């Protein structure tokens, strides 16, 4: 019923990162939608009669965001968040498509679990869901999963989340097997031995606070190992959550070599550094840790020159009981879905990156990693859209967030840019008036 | 949001003592001067002053320490406070009651001051922040948190140095041993650099010197014979036996040979160099008995001054 409706959105500035278009508000920026798809921009096609017109003066219309890492906490951690709450947080953040890591309880290592999750997600009006399957059973790093079956069930790739594979032979075989079918592995480059016990960036500030450090070499040694395995097996690899300047440099060189790799960074890591921990603020407890200012700047530079493909929310709802603890005992993770767009806008503004280019990191870039068509405002594309007010300042607070996870170092701080409305297949699923901020 | 140091109240007065980092020099001197007035109390026939009468001090030790707990207890008793000792051994938050639930319960019992020892760096900050939000007039004293800080030890070490050396401006101080795991070392570095010590050295093997420690304003030496040259004060750190289990150190014997304080190594320091140790000592591991019991050692004086310094901190906090 609803998707038959003809809708016109007018008055907005259009940005289509995929086609590098930035169209000022006016007749050319009208978007016409029918049957859940964009049918034209600018002039309406012959015979198109809008049932409704959405006026979006002062706002920016972009394709819905694609997020490579959002923990929805189901199954197993419903006390931290539910599929309902986090799918709603996604659309509140303008995210219309997301990948979720397999570290649920039970972990996503069986086709049945993946199907159930997808089924549950379909019953909720929200973003498109792409589960990332477990690479090894129970994420134990010992026995590989039925990858082909899992892909049939809907998995887009295979990951260990934060669990290590300590046995390099298992890792090599997993990569060989994945290569057989052309599957991509998503791995966080972190040597588990060097990272053991670490809770902050190894450096002067962690030393000052007396916190155990995760050294940069935990990332670079893992990268060296994984890159050698890519060279040897030919397996496509996506590096999750780069955190260091040295890591960005290694990936940059490997890409020049033509290896089948990609990588992402979390939105918080584009801004936060180790000093932001301040007096043991457990909202800054993340994995990998926030590193030095120099590392942060290198992540921004890597994003700009295309070494890093995507910015993800690394959304991890954590309950208060797990966060209100001494820093090292607090669970790692921050809420991210609703901060993804504002934090990318902040980077764009601070680094003077044109919006159309900056937004590629949350649309075209992650879509390439998922192996799907890049979202765009071109005629024929699904009308998965995000409309935001680039000038609205809002204060991040428990009341302003839809997610059950409210822990972020931005809590209590002001951010610029807020999602006003989100459409999925032409249907408006979120409107900012739905919840007072 | 305005960010103020969590140990100061809205008037900029010291409400909690969580770390020496950021304490102004004149405030440190005021604590030391106040302590000087209390040193005499312990020599009196009636070792008590009525400054904290009616005040409830809760010694909240999440990590065992008979010695530190006892000195706080004595300090509180000599100020006429009521002392409650609680040993709460929790290795992880998942066991039983959460840390902040425990605090809420004790606040409900009308505690006025918490003396907190915890194995995790930063735990007293969490507690101070929590009591500031829930009840405004409770004071927190950090009696040692993880590797982070042991501010009263830093203050008593400063007191001891001032007592024996008279000033800080011309001194070279060496801190020797397991700096990586030492909250005492960090608090000493903050105290001494704030008080104007021009050269602070840390001496130890690379496995026990934390990365980037130079940025705290210290010179790092791995050769103790070189690092001891012409020092006025040497502070030896305790080496836990468990450090020998992993790959940090091969054996106590090899450690003692290179980093244990012997008469030979002490001879490289200035002749009037004083030898300090926060206790408890491992004789034959970080220090040899001839030095520990020798004329240059001021280790027992540290203990005596420690009570006066803790009395000073408690009395100053209760006035804020």
CATH number for the domain harbouring residue A154: 3.20.20.140
Q: For domain B152-300, which CATH number applies: 3.30.420.40, 3.40.50.1370, 3.30.360.10, 3.40.1190.10?
A: 3.40.50.1370
Please give the pLDDT value at position B94.
47
Best CA proximity match to A235, nearest among A179, A185, A172, A186: A179
The answer to whether position A311 is within a domain reads yes
Task: Establish if A397 belongs to a structural domain.
Answer: no
- Is A314 designated active site? yes
Query: Could you tell me if A210 lies within 8 Å of chain B, comparing CB atoms?
Result: yes
State the average pLDDT for chain A: 96
Q: Using CA atoms, how far apart are residues A178 and A157, in angstroms rounded to an integer? A: 9
Q: Are A419 and A341 in contact (CB under 8 A)?
A: yes
Give the separation between CA A415 and CA A411, rounded to whole angstroms.
Answer: 10
Does one domain contain both A383 and A307?
A: no
Any domain includes A14:
yes
Tell me whether residue A398 is in a domain: no
* pLDDT confidence band for B144 (50 / 70 / 90): very high
Q: How many CA atoms lie within 13 A of B308 on its CB side?
A: 25
Per the domain annotation, does A309 fall within a domain?
yes
Contact A208 B186 (CB under 8 A): yes
What pLDDT is stored for residue B146 in this prediction? 96
Pairs across A and B, CB distance < 8 A: 83
Beta strands in chain B (DSSP E): 56-61, 82-87, 113-118, 139-145, 172-176, 199-203, 219-221, 233-236, 274-276
| B interface test, pick of A197, A198, A208, A414 with most B CB neighbours within 10 Å | A208
Same domain (yes/no): A342, A311: yes
pLDDT of residue B93 exceeding 60, the answer is: no
- Residue B10: pLDDT band with limits 50, 70, 90: confident
- The per-residue DSSP string of A133-171 comes to EESBGGG-SSSB--HHHHHHHT---EE-TT-----HHHH
Q: A72 and A27 in one domain?
A: no
Long-range contacts of B126-132 (CB under 8 A, 24+ apart): B126/A280, B126/A282, B126/A324, B126/A325, B126/A326, B126/B99, B126/B100, B127/B99, B127/B100, B127/B103, B128/B6, B128/B7, B128/B15, B128/B16, B128/B18, B129/B6, B130/A324, B130/B100, B130/B103, B130/B104, B131/B103, B131/B107, B132/B6, B132/B15
- Average pLDDT for residues A302-323, to the nearest whole number? 97
| Distance in angstroms (rounded) separating the CA atoms of residues A385 and A205 | 42
The ipTM, to two decimals, is 0.93
- Average pLDDT of A41-55? 95
Residue B9: which pLDDT band, with cuts at 50, 70 and 90? confident
CA-nearest residue to B189 within chain A is: A208
Structurally, chain A folds into a number of domains equal to 2
Assess whether A35 and A158 both reside in one domain: no
Query: What confidence tens digit (pLDDT) does each residue in B219-273 have?
Result: 999 999 999 999 999 999 999 888 878 899 999 999 999 999 999 999 999 999 9
Q: Are residues A288 and A309 in the same domain?
A: yes
| Contacts for B209 with CB less than 8 Å, ≥ 6 apart | B179, B180, B202, B220, B222
Banded pLDDT at A434 (limits 50, 70, 90): very low
Q: pLDDT value at position A210?
A: 97
Q: Is A209 inside a domain boundary?
A: yes
Q: For A274-294, what is each residue's pLDDT tens digit?
A: 999 999 999 999 999 999 999
Over residues A326-330, mean pLDDT: 96
Please tell me if residue A278 touches chain B, with a CB cutoff of 8 Å.
Answer: yes
List of chain A residues whose C-beta atoms are within 8 Å of the C-beta of residue B118: 326
On whether the CB atoms of residues A242 and A308 are closer than 8 A, the answer is yes
pLDDT digits (tens, 9 = 90+) for A205-261: 999 999 999 999 999 999 999 999 999 999 999 999 999 999 999 999 999 999 999
The reply to whether A35 and A106 lie within a common domain is: no
Question: Could you tell me the residue range of the domain that residue A271 belongs to?
Answer: 64-370
- A 351-370 → B contacts, CB under 8 A: none
Give yes or no: residues A233 and A354 share one domain. yes
Shortest CA gap B181–chain A (Å): 8
Does residue B123 register a pLDDT over 50? yes
Q: Is residue A437's pLDDT more than 50?
A: no
Architecture per CATH, B25-150+304-319: 3-Layer(aba) Sandwich (3.40)
Selecting from A204, A210, A329 the residue whose C-beta is nearest the C-beta of B147 gives A210
Please name the residue of chain A whose CA is at the shortest distance from the CA of residue B93.
A329
For residues A22 and A78, membership in a common domain is answered with no
pLDDT for position A57? 96
Residues in B touching A279 (Cβ below 8 Å): 5-6, 122, 125
Q: What SS3 class is residue A31?
A: strand
Residue B1 has pLDDT above 70, yes or no: no
All structural domains of chain B with their residue ranges: 25-150+304-319, 152-300
Higher pLDDT, B88 or A430: A430
Q: Which of A314, A319, A320, A384 is catalytic?
A: A314
Same domain, yes or no: A70 and A153: yes
Least Cα separation, residue A285 to chain B (angstroms): 13
B1/A235: higher pLDDT:
A235
Q: Name the average pLDDT for chain B.
A: 93
Q: Residue range B96-124: average pLDDT? A: 91
Q: How far apart are CA B281 and CA B288, in angstroms?
A: 10
What are the pLDDT digits (tens) for B165-221? 999 999 999 999 999 999 999 999 999 999 999 999 999 999 999 999 999 999 999
Give the helix/strand (H/E) hosting B66: helix B66-78
* pLDDT at position A430 over 70: yes
pLDDT of residue B95: 56
Residue in A215, A278, A280, A320 to test binding to B, most B beta-carbons within 10 Å: A280
Q: What is the CATH number of the domain that holds A46?
A: 2.30.40.10
What are the beta bridge partners of residue A13? A60
Q: Are A157 and A238 in contact (CB under 8 A)?
A: yes
**Tens digit of each residue's pLDDT (9 = 90 or more) over B268-296:** 999 999 999 999 999 999 999 999 999 99
Quote the longest CA-to-CA distance of chain B.
Answer: 56
Q: Is the pLDDT of residue A116 over 90?
A: yes
Q: Determine, yes or no, domain membership for A414.
A: no
- pTM, rounded to two decimals: 0.94
Task: Give the separation between CA A404 and CA A162, rounded to whole angstroms.
Answer: 21
Interface test with B, best of A200, A207, A295, A330 (most B CBs within 10 A): A207
Q: Does residue B63 surpass a pLDDT of 70?
A: yes
Measure B246 CA to nearest chain A CA, in Å. Answer: 13
Q: Does residue A409 sit within a domain?
A: no
Among candidate residues B55, B274, B61, the one with its CA nearest the CA of residue B166: B274
Q: Alpha helix (H) ranges present in A305-423?
A: 320-323, 340-350, 355-358, 364-370
Q: Do domains B25-150+304-319 and B152-300 have the same CATH topology?
A: yes
Kindly provide the b/e burial profile for residues B40-66, where b requires at least 16 CB atoms within 10 angstroms of the residue's own CB.
Answer: ebeeeeeeebebbeebbbbbbbbbebe
Locate the DSSP E strands across B146-271: 172-176, 199-203, 219-221, 233-236
In the DSSP assignment, the letter for residue A211 is: P
In this complex, do B211 and A207 lie within 8 Å of one another by their Cβ atoms? yes
| Position B90 confidence tier, pLDDT thresholds 50, 70, 90 | low
């Amino acid at each position: 019923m609803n998707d038959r409706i003809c809708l016109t959105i007018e008055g907005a500035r259009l940005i289509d990162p995929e086609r590098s278009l930035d169209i000022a508000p006016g007749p050319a920026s009208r978007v016409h939608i029918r049957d859940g798809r964009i049918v034209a921009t600018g002039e309406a096609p012959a015979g198109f009669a809008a049932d409704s017109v959405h006026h979006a003066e002062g706002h920016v219309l972009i394709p819905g965001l694609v997020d490579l890492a959002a923990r929805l906490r189901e199954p197993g951690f419903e006390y931290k968040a539910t599929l309902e709450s986090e799918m709603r947080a996604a659309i509140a953040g303008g995210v219309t498509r997301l990948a979720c890591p397999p570290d649920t309880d039970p972990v996503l290592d069986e086709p049945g679990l993946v199907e159930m999750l997808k089924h549950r997600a379909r019953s909720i009006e929200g973003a498109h869901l792409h589960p990332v399957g477990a690479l090894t059973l129970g994420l134990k790093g010992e026995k590989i999963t039925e990858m082909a079956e899992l892909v049939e069930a809907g998995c887009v790739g295979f990951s260990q989340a934060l669990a290590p594979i300590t046995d390099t032979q298992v890792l090599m075989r997993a990569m060989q097997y994945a290569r057989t079918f052309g599957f991509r592995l998503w791995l966080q480059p972190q040597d588990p031995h060097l990272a053991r016990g670490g809770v902050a960036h190894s450096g002067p500030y962690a030393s000052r606070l007396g916190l155990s450090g995760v050294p940069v070499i935990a990332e670079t040694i893992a990268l060296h190992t994984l890159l050698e395995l890519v060279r040897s097996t030919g397996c496509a690899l996506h590096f999750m959550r780069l955190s260091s300047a040295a890591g960005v440099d290694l990936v940059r060189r490997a890409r020049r070599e033509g290896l089948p790799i990609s990588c992402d960074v979390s939105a918080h890591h584009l801004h936060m550094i180790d000093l932001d921990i301040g007096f043991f603020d457990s909202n800054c407890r993340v994995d990998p840790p926030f590193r030095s200012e120099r590392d942060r700047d290198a992540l921004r530079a890597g994003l700009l020159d295309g070494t890093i493909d995507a910015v993800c929310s690394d959304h991890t709802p954590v309950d208060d009981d797990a966060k209100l603890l001494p820093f090292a005992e607090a669970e790692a993770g921050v809420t991210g879905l609703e901060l993804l767009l504002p934090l990318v806008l902040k980077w764009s503004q601070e680094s003077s990156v044109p919006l159309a280019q900056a937004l590629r990191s949350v649309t075209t870039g992650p879509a390439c990693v998922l192996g799907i068509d890049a979202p765009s405002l071109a005629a024929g594309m699904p009308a998965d859209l995000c409309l935001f007010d680039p000038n609205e300042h809002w204060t991040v607070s428990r009341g302003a967030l839809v997610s059950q996870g409210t822990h972020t170092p931005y809590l209590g701080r002001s951010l610029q840019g807020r999602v006003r409305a989100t459409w999925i297949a032409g249907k408006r699923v979120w409107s900012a008036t739905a919840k007072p901020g | 949001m305005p960010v103020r140091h969590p140990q100061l109240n809205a008037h900029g007065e010291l409400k909690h003592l969580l770390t020496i980092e950021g304490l102004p020099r004149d405030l440190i001197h005021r604590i030391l001067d106040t302590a000087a007035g209390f040193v005499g109390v312990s020599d009196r026939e009636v070792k008590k002053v009525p400054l904290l009468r009616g005040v409830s001090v809760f010694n909240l030790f999440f990590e065992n320490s008979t010695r530190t707990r006892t000195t706080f207890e004595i300090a509180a008793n000599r100020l006429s406070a009521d002392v409650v000792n609680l040993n709460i051994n929790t290795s992880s938050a998942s066991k039983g009651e959460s840390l902040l639930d425990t605090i809420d319960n004790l606040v409900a019992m009308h505690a006025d001051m918490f003396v907190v020892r915890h194995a995790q760096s930063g735990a007293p900050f969490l507690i101070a922040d929590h009591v500031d939000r829930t009840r405004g007039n409770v004071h927190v004293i950090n009696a040692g948190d993880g590797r982070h800080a042991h501010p009263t030890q830093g203050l008593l070490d400063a007191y001891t140095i001032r007592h024996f050396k008279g000033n800080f401006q011309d001194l070279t101080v060496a801190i020797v041993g397991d700096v990586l795991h030492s909250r005492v070392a960090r608090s000493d570095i903050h105290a001494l650099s704030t008080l104007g010590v021009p050269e602070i050295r840390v001496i130890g093997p690379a496995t026990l010197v934390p990365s980037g420690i130079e940025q705290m304003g210290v010179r790092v030496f791995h050769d103790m014979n070189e690092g001891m040259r012409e020092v006025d004060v040497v502070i030896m750190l305790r080496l836990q036996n468990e450090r020998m289990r992993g790959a940090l150190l091969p054996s106590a014997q090899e450690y003692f040979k290179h980093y244990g304080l012997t008469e030979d190594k002490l001879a490289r320091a200035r002749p009037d160099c004083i030898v300090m140790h926060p206790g408890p000592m491992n004789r034959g591991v970080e220090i040899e008995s001839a030095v520990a019991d020798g004329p240059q050692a001021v280790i027992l004086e540290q203990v005596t001054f420690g009570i006066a310094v803790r009395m000073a901190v408690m009395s100053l906090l209760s006035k804020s």
